[in-house]
Amino acid sequence: MLTGAIKAVVFDWAGTMVDFGCMAPVDALIEAYAGEGVVIVPSEARADMGRAKRDHVRALMTMPRIAAEWTREKGAPPTEADGDRLFAALEPLMRVQAARCADLIPGAVELATQLRAQGVKIGSCTGYTRPMMTEVAPRAAAQGYAPDVIVCAGETPSGRPSPLMLWQALVTVDAWPAWECVKVDDAEVGIGEGRAAGCWTIGVAASGNGVGLSLQEFEALPLAGRRALAADAGRALSAAGADYVVDTVADLQPALEAIAQRIRAGKRPPAA
């Protein structure tokens, strides 16, 4: 049982609790850049996944290939004003794609029910802005998942990998100390956020950005192929500092039990 050991679990959204494969941001970013006459590919869109979307746009613009293509298309290198304009175009595209990809990842509802039954508070934070989340949160709630708090990009002075969104979530649910709380994320930058906050961290590999396949695409692969892709994504999450790595949130309970045992033994997560 987690009761009395783990105070709160704070989840990411896309690729962790909804949107298997983290598809919505990729499709929206590709469409937004296409609107400027600049082609980006999925691997580029995924490189900085998990960051606040304005930071994500900035990171893409600094990639040498994209910056060069932008310069050829526009006649000048991309500027902050260009980034602001592209981000403004991205927000409505993200709302459309987020609504399309708002299905909960299998096991999410059952996990949330188990946590609440054990007195564990459920928080969430995301690289999505509040307007983007207006399409996701009600759809998730209708499927049975409604965390105690949602902290969105832009609501703290700094986004991931800073710990501020995660700390804000913990403050809101009154969960402390941080070393008795857990951050669950599919992106390396989200694991970095959890480590910086002083929380235990669990990476989800198969459902997340590292594999980058929809549930249908992933399940269509042979078992060996699924395992190989999840293992590759898991290694990246471990390298980012994840204390545990699982395939999806459906597999989370044993890792949480292991963390609870370590907390009861007086252990703390490794310092970032």
Cα separation, 17 vs 231, in Å, equals 20
Question: Order of strands, edge to edge, in the sheet holding 8-11?
Answer: 149-151, 121-125, 8-11, 181-185, 200-204, 244-246
Contact 207, 21 (CB under 8 A): yes
Place of tokens 């956020």: 193
Single out the residue of 94, 106, 88 nearest to residue 17, CA to CA.
106
The reply to whether 174 belongs to the active site is: no
Instruction: Tell me the two tokens of residue 78.
Output: 């991309």
Helices 53-62, 80-100: axis angle to 10 degrees equals 120
Q: Which residues pair with 122 in a beta bridge?
A: 9
How many Cα atoms sit within 13 Å of 226 on the Cβ side? 15
Point out the catalytic residue in the list 7, 53, 121, 183.
53
Phi, psi torsion values for 186, nearest 5 degrees: -100, -5
Phi, psi torsion values for 159, nearest 5 degrees: -100, -170
Cα separation, 194 vs 196, in Å, equals 5
Say whether 186 sits in a helix, a strand or coil. Answer: coil
Cα separation, 58 vs 75, in Å, equals 19
Point out the catalytic residue in the list 12, 19, 247, 251.
12
Single out the residue of 263, 124, 253 nearest to residue 190, CA to CA.
124
The reply to whether 53 belongs to the active site is: yes
Instruction: Give me the active site residues, please.
Output: 12, 53
